[in-house]
Structure 1
Amino acid sequence: MTKKTLVLIANGSEEIEAVTTINVLRRAEIEVDVVSIEKNGHDAVKCSRHVRVVPDKSLDDIKNNQYDCIVIPGGNDGSKAIAANVEVGQILTKHYQDGKIIAAICAGPRALLSHKIGFDHKHTITCYPTVRKEFTDGEPYKLDVPDHPVCYSKHIEEGIEKKEYHLVTSQGPGTTMVFALKLIELLKSKDEAIKVKDGLLV
């Protein structure tokens, strides 16, 4: 079955993080929907360095869709807009509770904090260095050591039905390739991630 990923973008999103992730995931034949959270959801989004990205869909188009992974890029203004969007919060919460991967890079983890994703599960996360001050280490998340470019945190609940909860976080534009390859590993396999990595000469 084809794996499906949602990449959320807004005016002010970091284009390296958004476009590189989209590109790398598609190289692994993962289906990616690029979705704008803006009111005019089909219009081009102006990213943080003025690169314009045309979304595939709007939030209204994907309300009832189910994805295997949701990606939140950074960018100061873009991450703040995603963090403030109520509908995004509902989508993230549902997917997280359903055991899907929630992934955020750079300033993107602001959205995890504002939408209270995984608050009860003591996940370890990372983010852009200047954004670390917005988090209190240990509550609700533990901050990973600064020299880890990507952090994958899984929480398992044992019971009648075993449940898993997944967060993947990364530090910034320069760590995007490693971030995207980690998502391929989790969504498909380590072998597939290595195949894509080799093709990229990483």
Structure 2
Amino acid sequence: MSGPLDGKRILVLATNGFEQSELEVPRDRLKEAGARVDVVSPESGEIKGWDKKDWGRPVKVDRPLADAREADYDAIVVPGGQINPDLLRAEPAAVELVKAFYDAGKTVAAVCHGPWLLVEAGIAKGRRMTSYHSIRTDVVNAGARWEDAEVVTDNGLVTSRKPDDLEAFCAKIIEEVREGRHQRRAA
């Protein structure tokens, strides 16, 4: 059986402290749609999630961040949780990788606190975005036009508020990847 993302490759960028559902639901939905999905991390072996109020389950790392290249993938997904994007935005290689996807016109998706990494990569300015409400000010201060919506899509940039919105988030990622590269004007 074929899916809408057959032949596509998606990179999920995470480290210890990712919100469990915000990694697992997109990973699983994108695989179900036919994509090959790799979890990429600065860590090797496994990374451990955060499941609402305590540590969650480990997830296997498919490729180290040092070996990940934008050219090998069609899209990048950044799960949230407070810990994951905060640690990743302090990793120059993670920030550069997000920026490379954006500059190549590929789908860049982030949920919950994940937009912190988009802010750090300098790609929020002039874009329509959403996020978890507690980082709204950070997103606005980075120059984005923040919207209170479950999912906001702006020319291949997909953002979502919280775990309750994951099904709509995944549907938009699939739609944007199927559209292919996006021509982005300077903000």
Give the Cα–Cα distance (whole angstroms) in 2 for the partners of residues 63 and 70 of structure 1: 11
Pick the aligned partner of 1:136 from 100, 117, 140: 140
**Aligned with 2:101: secondary structure?**
helix
CA contact (8 A) 1:66 1:95 kept: no
**What code does the residue aligned with 1:11 have?**
N
TM-score (norm 1): 0.78
**What code does the residue aligned with 1:46 have?**
K
What CA deviation, in whole Å up to 9, does each residue of 1:7-46 have, x standing for no partner? 01111111101000000001110111111222xx2x2111
Q: Does 1:61 align with 2:67?
A: yes
5+ residue gaps, structure 1, are 155-165, 190-202
Amino-acid identity (%): 31
Partner of 1:173: 163
CA contact (8 A) 2:124 2:139 kept: no
Give the Cα–Cα distance (whole angstroms) in 2 for the partners of residues 84 and 29 of structure 1: 32
Q: Does 1:23 align with 2:31?
A: no
What CA deviation, in whole Å up to 9, does each residue of 1:129-151 have, x standing for no partner? 112132326x511001x2x2000
Partner of 1:45: 47
Alpha-carbon offset, residue 63 of structure 1: 3.6
Q: Does 1:73 align with 2:85?
A: no
Q: Does 1:8 align with 2:9?
A: no
Partner of 1:104: 110
Give the Cα–Cα distance (whole angstroms) in 1 for the partners of residues 70 and 137 of structure 2: 35
Q: Does 1:126 align with 2:116?
A: no
5+ residue gaps, structure 2, are 1-5, 180-187
Q: Does 1:151 align with 2:152?
A: yes
Give the Cα–Cα distance (whole angstroms) in 2 for the partners of residues 64 and 114 of structure 1: 18
Alpha-carbon offset, residue 64 of structure 1: 6.4
CA contact (8 A) 2:95 2:121 kept: yes
Give the Cα–Cα distance (whole angstroms) in 1 for the partners of residues 64 and 15 of structure 2: 11
Question: How many residue pairs align between the two structures?
Answer: 170
**What code does the residue aligned with 2:170 have?**
A
CA contact (8 A) 2:70 2:97 kept: no
CA contact (8 A) 2:80 2:112 kept: yes
* RMSD of equivalent CA atoms: 1.7
**Aligned with 1:74: secondary structure?**
coil
TM-score (norm 2): 0.84
CA contact (8 A) 2:70 2:100 kept: no
**What code does the residue aligned with 1:143 have?**
W
Larger radius of gyration: 1
**What code does the residue aligned with 1:141 have?**
A
In structure 2, do the counterparts of structure 1 residues 64 and 124 end up closer, same or farther at CA, with 3 Å as the change threshold?
closer
**What code does the residue aligned with 1:140 have?**
G
